[in-house]
């Protein structure tokens, strides 16, 4: 019967009574402190010691148990009273096998506690052992010879001339004094000690190995055998399947890590043919596992037309194992199963298994990162244009051209609200079919909806119909296929809308397009910009005849804080930069305001050059 010794000045049953420690087949003893506990352990060493870590000297008490030869064999579970097990590292360093919370969840901790309770008896003996690792990263030999310092049916403590990496799977061959013939086992390195020493857990004991080890350990019970549970031969019939199950569990955990990896992982043999992939590879490339297995990179995701030197270098590396690419990250173009190309980063590493070379390729889709780079570059260019272009109409054209470089913008307009007059005007309007709408009172249009809510809107036909039914908008003109609008803001208030729309069913917008026209990503790289650098969109200003001739920035607040611009060559306006936004306010006097904008009663509209007719007859503005 397994034995547990609980060291605590308090009754822990209320907290740990639902765990395996209070199971009916467990024999329990109690000690108020470590001195009394060591007295008890002089006569009978328990399988598991549970020590309350509440006293400040708890780590010292654990070290005393580990240093005493009579108490050293027992497994130790420390009960932490700290939130989030803050003292776990200290307690483990002192010698605790496991650190559990005071109110331990049985579903989380019982398996580990039960494992410690079932630690079998082991025997100190110096036994020559020959190890052969399943895989080695280096090209050196995969055979290691050393000595076992103690052994049980669960595993052994191995001393070798070189350290073994935790998690390494290996074959073991050794001989016992009480058994004729060589014994074999499959094992895994589970801990690493100094000098170097490695704790190896048996996963599978082949043939007579389990019975031979049990007999060897039991024969030394009178001397040289450490306390633990005696493994009777009647219990051995199920042990083989238990450790085979442990092997399956270990492999399942590693498979879970591979499958849950966010990046695509492809494993290739020495011929460069894919032998294993994870789910992220299927999602990223659009192929199933069966479609990729046995194929090369060139046959899966490398575009045939991609003759970039790096692609050729990658192909050469996979074919010959040479070249400088091993472990290096590089950008490539990957082609998905549907024929679309995506920018990607790839890193290739090499591993040797039983003398055979395997390559692991990690592929990361960097589409979003590249899109963000293009967006930020576009914003910088708009910032530069705002400082360089004197003509507002030219500035609007520049903005339209730049936006069109990273999204569909054949039909593009800028709408500005005049709060004083409660009207909306369209200083810039380019459309495949319609001329610019006249300045009008605010109404239930999509543009006015974005102005009212201050939120971006992607209106597909279904969304638009639903909004019409709810009475939030009204039908104006013939519906477009998709309409995307984002608010232009200053100090948290919407003063305008930037919108694009599509009449072609083959051209649809997505939620990612909405984010492209909203906030840019933060970047650690700062590019010097002039003091007047900001997203230049007009907004109504007192004293401006056009009602649209004040410059301001989006809520992104990209204008450099603290910058001040002196009075311009035209005495009609001044500009001061602030942390939140910048308004170039016009004076009523003079025939020109806001850097040369005509003081006509209505702004000029940019008219579209007719494109081939392919869609609806009017816009949904």
The more confident residue out of 415 and 135 is 415
Domain check: are 353 and 386 in the same one?
A: no
Hey, which residues does 551 pair with through a beta bridge? Answer: 538
β-strands 329-335, 440-441 pairing:
unpaired
Provide mean pLDDT across the span 594-610. Answer: 34
pLDDT at position 8: 96
pLDDT at position 388: 75
* Residue 185 structural domain: 122-250
User: Using CA atoms, how far apart are residues 378 and 380, in angstroms rounded to an integer?
Assistant: 5
507 located within any domain: yes
User: Using CA atoms, how far apart are residues 462 and 195, in angstroms rounded to an integer?
Assistant: 70
Residue 295 CB contacts under 8 Å (≥ 6 apart), including other chains: 273, 274
pLDDT above 90 for 404: no
Domain check: are 507 and 545 in the same one?
A: yes
Output the CA–CA distances (angstroms, integers) from residue 23 to 17, 20, 113, 138, in the order listed: 8, 5, 12, 48
pLDDT at position 538: 34
Domain boundary among 198, 218, 250: 250
pLDDT above 80 for 236: no
488 located within any domain: yes
Domain check: are 240 and 290 in the same one?
A: no
The CATH code of the domain that includes 347 is: 3.30.450.20
pLDDT interval class at 542 (50, 70, 90): very low
DSSP 136: B
312 located within any domain: yes
pLDDT at position 514: 58
Domain check: are 245 and 273 in the same one?
A: no
Q: Where are the beta strands (DSSP E) in 460-541?
A: 482-490, 493-502, 537-539
Whether pTM exceeds 0.75: no
Domain check: are 68 and 164 in the same one?
A: no
Cα 171–Cα 174–Cα 180 angle in degrees, nearest 5: 135
pLDDT interval class at 307 (50, 70, 90): low
User: Using CA atoms, how far apart are residues 621 and 473, in angstroms rounded to an integer?
Assistant: 11
Domain check: are 326 and 376 in the same one?
A: no
The CATH code of the domain that includes 202 is: 2.40.10.220
pLDDT at position 477: 61
619 located within any domain: no
Domain check: are 551 and 459 in the same one?
A: yes
Position of tokens 């579970």?
77
pLDDT at position 606: 38
Provide mean pLDDT across the span 293-318. Answer: 66
pLDDT above 60 for 395: yes
The model's pLDDT over 82-101, given as tens digits with 9 standing for 90+, comes to 988 889 889 988 989 899 99
615 located within any domain: no
The more confident residue out of 224 and 30 is 30
Element (H, E) at 358: strand 356-365
- CB 38: neighbour CB atoms within 10 A? 17
Q: Which of 14-18, 443-447, 489-493 has the highest mean pLDDT?
A: 14-18
User: Using CA atoms, how far apart are residues 468 and 462, in angstroms rounded to an integer?
Assistant: 10
Please write down the HEC assignment for all residues of 428-460.
EEECCCCCCCCCEECCCCHHHHHHHHCCCEEEC
Of 541, 543, 560, the C-alpha closest to 551 is 541
Provide mean pLDDT across the span 546-550. Answer: 32
- Phi and psi torsions of 489, nearest 5°: -125, 155
301 located within any domain: yes
pLDDT at position 372: 78
Mean pLDDT of the chain: 74
pLDDT at position 405: 78
User: Using CA atoms, how far apart are residues 574 and 179, in angstroms rounded to an integer?
Assistant: 99
With both helix axes pointing from N to C terminus, report the angle between 367-388 and 392-406 in degrees, rounded to the nearest 10: 170
Task: Report the range of poorest mean pLDDT among 234-238, 417-421, 434-438, 452-456.
Answer: 234-238
Domain check: are 553 and 404 in the same one?
A: yes
18 located within any domain: yes
Task: Report the range of poorest mean pLDDT among 25-39, 109-123, 485-499, 537-551.
Answer: 537-551
The CATH code of the domain that includes 61 is: 3.40.50.2300
Position of tokens 């039991």?
218
The model's pLDDT over 496-529, given as tens digits with 9 standing for 90+, comes to 999 999 888 888 877 666 555 554 433 333 333 3
pLDDT above 50 for 270: yes
Provide mean pLDDT across the span 241-266. Answer: 76
Of 430, 431, 455, 451, the C-alpha closest to 441 is 451
Domain boundary among 364, 393, 419: 364
pLDDT at position 143: 86
538 located within any domain: yes
Domain check: are 144 and 245 in the same one?
A: yes
Q: How many domains does the chain have?
A: 4
User: Using CA atoms, how far apart are residues 15 and 17, in angstroms rounded to an integer?
Assistant: 6
pLDDT above 60 for 568: no
pLDDT at position 539: 34
The more confident residue out of 74 and 565 is 74
pLDDT interval class at 7 (50, 70, 90): very high
pLDDT interval class at 36 (50, 70, 90): very high
The CATH code of the domain that includes 528 is: 3.30.450.40
Domain check: are 268 and 246 in the same one?
A: no
Domain check: are 581 and 477 in the same one?
A: yes
Provide mean pLDDT across the span 275-295. Answer: 90
User: Using CA atoms, how far apart are residues 161 and 131, in angstroms rounded to an integer?
Assistant: 12
User: Using CA atoms, how far apart are residues 592 and 586, in angstroms rounded to an integer?
Assistant: 9
Domain check: are 319 and 388 in the same one?
A: no
pLDDT at position 247: 61
pLDDT at position 596: 30
Domain boundary among 364, 395, 424: 364
* Alpha-helical runs (H) found in 56-172: 58-67, 88-94, 106-117
pLDDT interval class at 610 (50, 70, 90): very low
pLDDT at position 602: 35
The model's pLDDT over 136-178, given as tens digits with 9 standing for 90+, comes to 444 455 788 999 999 998 899 999 888 888 778 889 999 999 8
User: Using CA atoms, how far apart are residues 535 and 555, in angstroms rounded to an integer?
Assistant: 9
Chain centroid offset of residue 415 CA: 39
User: Using CA atoms, how far apart are residues 131 and 259, in angstroms rounded to an integer?
Assistant: 30
Element (H, E) at 34: helix 34-43
The model's pLDDT over 338-380, given as tens digits with 9 standing for 90+, comes to 989 999 998 888 887 766 778 899 999 998 888 778 777 777 7
Of 408, 380, 413, 363, the C-alpha closest to 608 is 413
């Amino acid at each position: 019967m397994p034995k547990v010794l609980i060291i605590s000045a308090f009754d822990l049953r209320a907290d740990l009574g639902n765990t395996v420690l209070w199971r009916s087949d467990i024999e329990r003893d109690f000690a108020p402190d470590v001195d009394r506990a060591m007295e008890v352990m002089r006569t009978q060493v328990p399988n598991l010691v549970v020590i309350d870590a509440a006293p400040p000297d708890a780590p010292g008490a654990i070290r005393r148990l580990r240093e005493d030869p009579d108490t050293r064999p027992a497994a130790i579970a420390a009960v932490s009273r700290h939130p989030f097990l803050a003292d776990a590292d200290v307690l483990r360093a002192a010698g605790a096998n496991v650190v559990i919370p005071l109110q331990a969840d049985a579903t989380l901790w019982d398996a580990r506690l039960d494992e410690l309770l079932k630690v079998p008896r082991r025997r100190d003996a110096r036994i020559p052992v020959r190890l052969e690792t399943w895989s080695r990263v280096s090209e050196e030999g995969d055979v290691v010879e050393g000595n076992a310092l103690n052994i049980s049916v669960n595993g052994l403590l191995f001393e070798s001339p070189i350290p073994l990496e935790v998690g390494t799977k290996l074959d073991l061959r050794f001989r016992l004094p009480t058994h004729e013939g060589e014994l074999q086992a499959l094992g895994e390195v589970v801990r690493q000690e100094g000098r170097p020493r490695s704790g190896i857990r048996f996963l599978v004991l082949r043939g007579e190995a389990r019975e031979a080890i049990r007999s060897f350990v039991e024969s030394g019970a009178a001397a040289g055998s450490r306390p633990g549970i005696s493994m009777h031969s009647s219990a051995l019939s199920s042990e083989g399947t238990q450790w085979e199950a442990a092997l399956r569990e270990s492999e399942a955990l590693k498979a879970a890590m591979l499958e849950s990896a966010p990046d695509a992982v492809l494993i290739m043999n020495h011929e460069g043919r894919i032998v294993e992939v994870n789910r992220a590879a299927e999602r990223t490339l659009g192929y199933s596992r069966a479609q990729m297995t046995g194929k090369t990179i060139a046959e899966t995701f490398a575009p045939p037309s991609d003759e970039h030197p790096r692609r050729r270098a990658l192909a050469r590396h996979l074919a010959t194992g040479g070249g400088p690419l091993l472990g290096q990250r590089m950008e490539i173009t990957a082609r998905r199963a549907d024929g679309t190309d995506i920018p990607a980063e790839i890193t290739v590493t090499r591993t040797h298994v039983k003398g055979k070379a395997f390559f692991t390729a990690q592929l990361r889709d960097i589409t979003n990162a590249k899109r963000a780079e293009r967006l930020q570059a576009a914003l910088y260019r708009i910032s530069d244009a705002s400082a360089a272009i004197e003509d507002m109409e030219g500035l609007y054209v520049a903005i339209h051209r730049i936006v069109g470089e990273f999204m569909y913008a054949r039909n593009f307009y800028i709408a500005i609200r005049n709060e004083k007059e409660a009207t909306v005007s369209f200083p810039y309007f380019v459309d495949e079919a319609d001329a610019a709408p006249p300045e009008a009172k605010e109404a239930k249009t999509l543009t006015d909806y974005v102005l009212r809510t201050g939120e971006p809107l992607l209106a597909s036909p279904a969304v638009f119909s639903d909004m019409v039914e709810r009475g939030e908008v009204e039908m104006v003109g013939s519906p477009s296929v998709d309409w995307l609008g984002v608010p232009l803001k200053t100090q948290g208030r919407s003063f305008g809308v930037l919108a694009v729309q599509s009449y072609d069913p083959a051209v649809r917008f997505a939620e990612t397009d909405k984010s492209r026209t909203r906030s840019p990503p933060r970047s650690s790289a700062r590019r010097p910009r002039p003091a007047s650098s900001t997203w230049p969109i007009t907004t109504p200003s007192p004293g401006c005849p056009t009602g649209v001739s004040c410059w301001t920035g989006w809520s992104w607040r990209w204008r450099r804080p603290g910058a001040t611009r002196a009075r311009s060559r035209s005495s009609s306006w001044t500009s001061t930069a602030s942390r939140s936004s910048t308004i170039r306010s016009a004076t009523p006097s003079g025939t020109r305001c806001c850097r040369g904008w005509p003081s006509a009663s209505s702004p000029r509209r940019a008219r579209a050059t007719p494109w081939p007719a392919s869609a609806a007859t009017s816009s949904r503005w």
